[in-house]
Amino acid sequence: MAAITANGVSKRYGTVTALERVSLSVEEGEIFGFLGPNGAGKSTFINVLLDFARPTDGSAELFGRDCQADGVSARERVGVLPDGYSVFDRLTGRQHVAYVVRSKDADDDPAEVLERVGISAAADRPASDYSKGMKQRLVLGMALVGEPDLLLLDEPTTGLDPSGAAEIRSILREERDRGAAVFFSSHILEQVEAICDRVGILQDGELVAVDTIDGLRQSIGGGTKLLIDVGELDDATTEAVRGVDGVETVTVSDGTTLEVTCTNDAKMDVVVELQRRGADVMNFRTEEASLEEMFLAYTGGSRE
Ligand SMILES: Nc1ncnc2c1ncn2[C@@H]1O[C@H](COP(=O)(O)OP(=O)(O)OP(=O)(O)O)[C@@H](O)[C@H]1O
């Protein structure tokens, strides 16, 4: 059964359309990255799943249970790191985790949970004294209690230093590997590229793409960039390469290096055309489009 199903979810705040007919499905055992620039609607979508916000149109389900009509039972199997979370200032980290263990009727050892998220040294300090990154680790630890079947995480690595972000990514992989679905939002492309099985790109409330990273690469023109060093290059040869089926763009740098973006299938045709035209192909490299290039292609360069 799908962990998350969204059927045409729209959300309007007055004249602002935060979400526009978002439909998607996330399965158990996958890490799904929800990517979009600031204000794209990522938190609003998670808030709809948690019933912090009600959709204007459409509906959403967690494990087949309606997030609004049946919200409490929909959230039963879910661990959450919400946007704008807060901690209880007077409780220690250990007490926070112990509280969640009791309320979920779970049997996790709070010390182990705190160890896992890297704040065991601060276990008995009040959470009010924690840094932002430590609070974030604490709330993530609380989300992990009870082996939830779905982790819903709003920007889980923002505010963490690079090694902290890497630790969290490895926890998310472990959770996926034990069969949980992991859904997390981010505007940090590298975080998403590093661990996601699939990615959804949200732009102005609309889901403009959902695919694997490789699939996204394919759909923006194969996503393959060829860098070809040739001895000499004339305009007619450049034009001929532009005319090869599957070629999207051709640019020339330093007078002798061609940069060609094209579908995977067109790679060899480009080289064959160059040779047919008598060009001396001296070096030939390919680069895959980075997620950043894909993101810019989908969002029209509005990365923030
Ligand atoms: N409670 C609210 N009242 C009015 N407008 C809202 C409310 N919540 C969100 N919005 C608007 O909806 C849009 C989407 O906001 P949202 O917080 O979902 O974006 P986001 O993708 O999570 O952004 P960020 O990456 O900056 O956190 C924005 O234009 C925002 O101003």
pLDDT, tens digit, for every residue of 114-137?
999 999 999 999 999 999 999 999
Write out pLDDT tens, residues 179-210.
999 999 988 777 787 789 999 999 899 998 89
Q: Which helix (H) or strand (E) holds 202?
A: strand 198-203
- Cβ burial of 37 (10 Å; 0-12, 13-18, 19+) is middle
Retrieve residue 111's tokens.
Answer: 């010390």
- Is there an atom of ligand 1 within 6 Å of 123 CB? no
Helix (H, G, I), strand (E, B) or coil at 271: helix
Q: Which CATH superfamily does the domain covering 2-218 fall into?
A: P-loop containing nucleotide triphosphate hydrolases (3.40.50.300)
CA of 169 to the centre of ligand 1 (A): 25
Measured in residues, the chain has a length of: 304
CA of 45 to the centre of ligand 1 (A): 9
Retrieve residue 284's tokens.
Answer: 């030939």
Best mutation site among 19, 34, 44 for ligand 1, i.e. most ligand atoms within 8 A of its Cβ?
A: 44
Strands 78-81 and 57-62: unpaired
Helix (H, G, I), strand (E, B) or coil at 287: strand
- Is there an atom of ligand 1 within 6 Å of 38 CB? yes
Amino acid 189: pLDDT: 74
Which residue has the least CA distance to atom 14 on ligand 1?
41
- Is there an atom of ligand 1 within 6 Å of 50 CB? no
Please provide the DSSP assignment of 120-169 as one string. Answer: GGGTTSBGGGS-HHHHHHHHHHHHHTT--SEEEEESTTTTS-HHHHHHHH
Amino acid 60: pLDDT: 97
Instruction: Give the residue range(s) of CATH 3.40.50.300 domains in the chain.
Output: 2-218
Residues of the chain with pLDDT under 70: 218-223, 288-294, 300-304
CA of 208 to the centre of ligand 1 (A): 17
Query: What is the residue whose two structure tokens read 């490789």?
Result: 214
Best mutation site among 17, 22, 43 for ligand 1, i.e. most ligand atoms within 8 A of its Cβ?
A: 43
Q: Which helix (H) or strand (E) holds 31?
A: strand 31-35
Number of other CB atoms surrounding residue 186 within 10 Å: 21
Amino acid 298: pLDDT: 73
- Is there an atom of ligand 1 within 6 Å of 40 CB? yes
Atom index in ligand 1 nearest the CA of residue 14 equals 4
Retrieve residue 237's tokens.
Answer: 């040869």
Amino acid 6: pLDDT: 97
Q: Model pTM?
A: 0.79
Instruction: Give the residue range(s) of CATH 3.30.70.100 domains in the chain.
Output: 223-288
| Per CATH, domain 223-288 is 3.40.50.970 | no
Of the CA atoms within 13 Å of residue 68, those in its CB half-sphere come to 14
Instruction: Quote the crossing angle between the two packed helices 267-276 and 235-242, to the nearest 10°.
Output: 150
- Is there an atom of ligand 1 within 6 Å of 142 CB? no
- Is there an atom of ligand 1 within 6 Å of 187 CB? yes
DSSP secondary-structure letter at 289?
A: P
